[in-house]
Structure 1
Amino acid sequence: MPTLICGSVAYDTIMVFPDRFKHHILPDKVHMLSVSFLVPQMRREFGGCAGNIAYNLKLLGGDPLPMATVGQDFTPYAKRLDELQIRQECIRTLPDHYTPQCFITTDLDDNQITAFHPGAMSLSHENHFDHVPGITLAVVGPDGREGMLARVAELTAAKIPFIFDPGQAMPLFSGAELLACVQAADYVALNDYEAALMEERTGKSIADLAAMVKMLVVTRGAEGSTMHADGKEILIPTAKATEVLDPTGCGDAYRAGLLFGIEKGWDWESTGRLASLLGALKIAHRGGQNHHFDRDSLATAYRTAFGCELPAY
Structure 2
Amino acid sequence: MTKARFDVLGIGNAIVDVLARTEDDFLVAEGLHKGSMNLIDTERAEYLYKLMGPAIEASGGSAGNTVFGLASLGADTAFFGKVADDQLGEIFSHDMRSLGAHFDCAPLVGGVPTARSMILISPDGERTMNTYLGAATELSEADIDEDIVANAAITYMEGYLWDKEKRQKKPSARRPAFRTKPGGRFPSAFRTASALIRFREEFLDLLQTGQVDIVFANEPEVKALYQTADRATALNALRADTRLSAVTLGGEGSVAISGNETFHVPACNVRELVDTTGAGDLYAAGFLYGITHDMDLEKSATLGNFCAAEVIQHIGPRPEHDMRQAAEQAGLL
Tell me whether 16-25 or 139-148 shows the greater mean CA deviation: 16-25
Report whether the alignment pairs 1:157 with 2:173: no
Report whether the alignment pairs 1:70 with 2:97: no
Q: Give the partner amino acid of 2:160.
A: D
Report whether the alignment pairs 1:173 with 2:199: yes
**Residues 125 and 199 (structure 1), Cα distance of their counterparts in 2 relative to 1, 3 Å cut:** farther
Q: Which runs of 5+ in 1 are unaligned?
A: 27-33, 304-309
Q: Give the partner amino acid of 1:6.
A: I
TM-superposition CA deviations, 1:224-261 (whole Å, max 9, x none):
11111121221111111233211111111100011111
State the match for 2:107 in structure 1: 93
State the match for 1:144 in structure 2: 161
**Residues 61 and 110 (structure 1), Cα distance of their counterparts in 2 relative to 1, 3 Å cut:** closer
Inter-partner Cα distance in structure 2 for 1:18 and 1:209 = 36
Q: Give the partner amino acid of 1:200.
A: Q
Inter-partner Cα distance in structure 2 for 1:46 and 1:220 = 26
TM-superposition CA deviations, 1:18-56 (whole Å, max 9, x none):
794389679xxxxxxx99975442221211112211111
Tell me whether 153-162 or 106-115 shows the greater mean CA deviation: 106-115
Inter-partner Cα distance in structure 1 for 2:285 and 2:16 = 19
TM-superposition CA deviations, 1:102-152 (whole Å, max 9, x none):
113456676866421011222334432314251121111133325664465
Q: TM-score scaled by structure 1?
A: 0.82
Q: TM-score scaled by structure 2?
A: 0.77
Tell me if the contact between 1:124 and 1:143 (Cα under 8 Å) persists in the aligned partners. no
Inter-partner Cα distance in structure 2 for 1:35 and 1:164 = 31
Query: Quick one: which of 10, 13, 29 aligns to 2:15?
Result: 10
Inter-partner Cα distance in structure 1 for 2:308 and 2:188 = 21
**Residues 199 and 71 (structure 1), Cα distance of their counterparts in 2 relative to 1, 3 Å cut:** same
Tell me if the contact between 1:19 and 1:107 (Cα under 8 Å) persists in the aligned partners. yes
State the match for 1:283 in structure 2: 312
Q: Give the partner amino acid of 1:173.
A: F
**Residues 149 and 294 (structure 1), Cα distance of their counterparts in 2 relative to 1, 3 Å cut:** same
Report whether the alignment pairs 1:217 with 2:241: no
State the match for 1:233 in structure 2: 262
Tell me if the contact between 1:164 and 1:181 (Cα under 8 Å) persists in the aligned partners. no
Tell me if the contact between 2:282 and 2:318 (Cα under 8 Å) persists in the aligned partners. no
State the secondary structure of the residue aligned to 2:9: strand
State the match for 2:26 in structure 1: 21
Higher relative contact order (CA 8 A, sep 6+): 2
Alignment map for 1:39-54 (pairs within 5 Å):
39-54=52-67
TM-superposition CA deviations, 1:188-242 (whole Å, max 9, x none):
11101110111029xx943233233221122111111111112122111111123
Inter-partner Cα distance in structure 1 for 2:256 and 2:120 = 34
State the match for 1:130 in structure 2: 146
Tell me if the contact between 1:250 and 1:283 (Cα under 8 Å) persists in the aligned partners. yes
**Residues 208 and 152 (structure 1), Cα distance of their counterparts in 2 relative to 1, 3 Å cut:** farther
Tell me if the contact between 1:254 and 1:275 (Cα under 8 Å) persists in the aligned partners. yes
Inter-partner Cα distance in structure 1 for 2:193 and 2:48 = 31
**Residues 211 and 46 (structure 1), Cα distance of their counterparts in 2 relative to 1, 3 Å cut:** same
State the secondary structure of the residue aligned to 1:245: coil
Q: Give the partner amino acid of 1:155.
A: A
Percent identity at matched positions? Answer: 23
Tell me if the contact between 1:72 and 1:97 (Cα under 8 Å) persists in the aligned partners. no
State the secondary structure of the residue aligned to 2:322: coil
Structure possessing the higher radius of gyration over alpha carbons = 1
Q: Give the partner amino acid of 1:61.
A: G
Give the total of aligned pairs: 293
Q: Give the partner amino acid of 1:189.
A: F
Q: Which runs of 5+ in 2 are unaligned?
A: 32-46
Tell me if the contact between 2:63 and 2:157 (Cα under 8 Å) persists in the aligned partners. no
Report whether the alignment pairs 1:199 with 2:226: yes
Tell me if the contact between 1:152 and 1:181 (Cα under 8 Å) persists in the aligned partners. no
